Amino acid sequence: MKNGQRSGMTNAALVVCATVLSIAFAAAAPQGKSKAPVGAAKTGELPPLVAEQVISGDTVLGPECYVVFPGGKIELRIVAPAGAGVGTPGGTDAAASDRVFSMTRSIECRWKVPAGVVGWIGDCRLEWTAPTRPGHYQIGCEVESRSALKVARPGTEGKARDLAPLHGSTVFHMLVPYEFDPEGSGVIEGVPIGIYPNENDKNVKAIIAEHRELYRPPRWFVGLTPETRDLRVSAHFRLREFVPDAPKDATVFFPYNANLCRALETVLEDLRTSALPEPHVRILRGYVSPHDAERQRRQGARLLTWNRYQYGDGALIVANRDAGMKMGDLTGDGKTDVRDAEFLAQVVLRVQKRLRLPGWIGVYAERPDPTLPETPMVGFDLRGYWAESYSVEP
């Protein structure tokens, strides 16, 4: 079975759920030396994540991969949805109204766990503790669901018949992040990250000194590889979208921020209206490492020393109908201009306040530097405190 692919199921679907007990950048850090990366807002903490994958035919909905700390725990569950495989024999004739239908069902799950520790198994549920070694781990599960349907008239025993069994399989992709040493050479697995600015420098700006803990270098980095780049981390976003400039055939590392993904999903939902039934949010600039920032600055990029892109909680975005690189007509006035960016910024601000994710918002009437497409856009971050925003940046 190839990464990210699922075999189809006959007649009905199975629902695959994952309850994250300790997810990277969103919940408690593992015990011992390693700590959760400082810089996430104290408000807006993510609750334990419950995700579902509904597999029916060739369609998979929901996330495919989960970021779990070394030593963190995650619960995986597979259940059959109510009514799966159940139908009314013989159609819906009038005689069916005096029949009593009952069904028994059993599900058998066969797990394949390549590494880590299995805490317990039962009722198609599994608790997995991530290994201390970082990387990409695939937990496979073969599923077979058997059902028997009994049809009886009131007062009679009735007869039971076996329904066709449902077969399927799925793979949970677990990403255990790499720990970054800010005092080291600025490299993870031979890949340059760069040196972060020193938040403890006595000459930093007052606002930095006031929030030093929010400007410490990220501690945990996820590996973005040719095998993991297309995996979904939420219903609408794939891992690669948070590092738009990452080459397709190379490995890069970035500090995946679950709150940023959560905010973008909520923005997408808030944009959905009768006039815009299928909106798309495109990240034009996501994570930029200090090493890559130097290269992009030479190409004309405007990246400040303390920019939030390097911390993984900032993004430049557009919204549209076609998932393209340019802002769409969000106001419905038949044209695209800064007013559409302002509309999008208001949506982002509402989401930040609702989710208690303070940060910064900026509206750009046109691209802020030549490395970006020519279009209005919105920049925002989740730095952990409310920063002064601006309405239009020419």
Q: Which residue has the tokens 């973005």?
A: 224
Bridge partners, residue 320, by sequence: 280
- Whether residue 37 is predicted with pLDDT greater than 70 in this model: the reply is no
Structure tokens, 206: 């007052």
Instruction: Please compute the mean of the pLDDT values over residues 53-66 and round it to a whole number.
Output: 55
Q: Cα Rg for the chain, rounded, in angstroms?
A: 24
Structure tokens, 228: 């993991």
Q: What is the pLDDT of residue 40?
A: 33
- Whether residue 89 is predicted with pLDDT greater than 60 in this model: the reply is no
Structure tokens, 33: 């030396």
Answer yes or no: are the C-beta atoms of 228 and 221 closer than 8 Å.
Answer: no
What pTM did the predictor assign? 0.79
Instruction: Please compute the mean of the pLDDT values over residues 191-202 and round it to a whole number.
Output: 96
Region for 43 from its dihedrals, namely left if φ exceeds 0, alpha if ψ lies in -120 to 50, beta otherwise: beta
139 vs 126, 169, 196, 300, CA distance in Å? 10, 11, 35, 44
Structure tokens, 202: 């006595």
Q: What is the pLDDT of residue 330?
A: 95
Answer yes or no: are the C-beta atoms of 360 and 393 closer than 8 Å.
Answer: no
Q: How many CA atoms lie within 13 A of 10 on its CB side?
A: 8
Split at pLDDT 50, 70, 90, the class of 248 is very high
CA distance 172 to 52: 11
Residue 72: closest CA among 120, 127, 124: 127
- Whether residue 150 is predicted with pLDDT greater than 70 in this model: the reply is no
Q: What is the pLDDT of residue 389?
A: 74
CA distance 149 to 374: 61
8-state DSSP, 365: S
Count of positions (residues) in the chain: 394
Instruction: Please compute the mean of the pLDDT values over residues 175-179 and round it to a whole number.
Output: 96
Split at pLDDT 50, 70, 90, the class of 169 is confident
Q: What is the pLDDT of residue 79?
A: 65
Q: What is the pLDDT of residue 60?
A: 44
Split at pLDDT 50, 70, 90, the class of 50 is very low
Instruction: Please compute the mean of the pLDDT values over residues 150-166 and round it to a whole number.
Output: 68
Question: How much of the chain exceeds pLDDT 90, in percent?
Answer: 55
Split at pLDDT 50, 70, 90, the class of 105 is low
More confident residue, 53 or 301: 301
Write the pLDDT tens digit of every residue in 250-305. Answer: 999 999 999 999 999 999 999 998 678 899 999 999 999 999 999 999 999 999 99
Handedness of CA 53, 4, 169, 74 (dihedral sign): negative
Highest mean pLDDT among 61-70, 167-176, 378-387: 378-387
Q: What is the pLDDT of residue 138?
A: 93
Split at pLDDT 50, 70, 90, the class of 245 is very high
Q: What is the pLDDT of residue 247?
A: 93
Measured at the CA of 164, the angle between CA 163 and CA 168, to 5 degrees, comes to: 130
- Per domain, the residue ranges of the chain are 14-82+101-176, 181-217+257-393
Instruction: Please compute the mean of the pLDDT values over residues 223-248 and round it to a whole number.
Output: 94
Longest CA pairwise span in the chain (Å): 86
Least confident of 6-10, 355-359, 369-373: 6-10
Instruction: Please compute the mean of the pLDDT values over residues 368-390 and round it to a whole number.
Output: 92
Under DSSP, is residue 168 helix (H, G, I), strand (E, B) or coil?
strand
Q: What is the pLDDT of residue 26?
A: 34
Structure tokens, 389: 């925003």
Task: Give the type of residue at 312.
Answer: G
8-state DSSP, 257: -
Answer yes or no: are the C-beta atoms of 166 and 85 closer than 8 Å.
Answer: yes
Task: Give the type of residue at 124.
Answer: C
